[in-house]
Amino acid sequence: MKNKLIISGCLTIVICIIGIGFICLASTPEAWLEFRQAVRNACLDQVKDTIVNPEISVDPLGSESFGIAIAHGVSKETNKEILRVTIYDKKIHAVETNFGFLPDDIHWWKNLLEENQKLKKELADLKAKK
């Protein structure tokens, strides 16, 4: 009985180690980079006809089942700023994008964009000083 418990415990440890190895292989930096690029390209493909020069931000990991990207730019239809969200199914690679949010729809959005522009300018200034 004692030997069965020892063998069972050892097998459990080996299975866990193998499982962790597979998880690590599936989560290499290169794999995550490829995933983010796939989500970015899918988002760009969805919004390229509706947004002028879209800026796309990709959630680095997404959720358990989906990749998530946000496209920001000027709407070709309304000539106003717009934000569109793309959802990318990790299993079947299906893509959906909403119709878009206008700045008035999301109160914090405008402040976030302004803060982002300030940070980009500060970073550019720092690089220029080097």
User: How is the beta sheet containing 51-58 ordered, strand by strand?
Assistant: 51-58, 66-75, 81-89, 95-97
Specify the pTM: 0.63
Nearest to 70 by CA among 79, 80, 81: 81
Provide the 10 A C-beta neighbour count for residue 107.
8
* C-alpha dist (Å) from residue 21 to 13, 62, 96: 12, 22, 33
Residue-wise pLDDT for 57-81, tens only, equals 999 989 999 999 999 999 999 999 9
Write the DSSP string, 37-103: HHHHHHHHHHHTTTEEEEEEEE-SS--SSEEEEEEEEEETTTSSEEEEEEEEETTT--EEE-S-B-G
Q: For residue 125, what pLDDT band results from cuts at 50, 70 and 90?
A: confident
Q: Where are the domains of the chain?
A: 33-129
For residue 33 the two structure tokens come to: 């980079």
Alpha carbons 68 and 44: distance in angstroms, whole number = 12
What pLDDT is attached to residue 1? 53
Residue-wise pLDDT for 14-58, tens only, equals 454 444 444 444 579 999 999 999 999 999 999 999 999 999 999
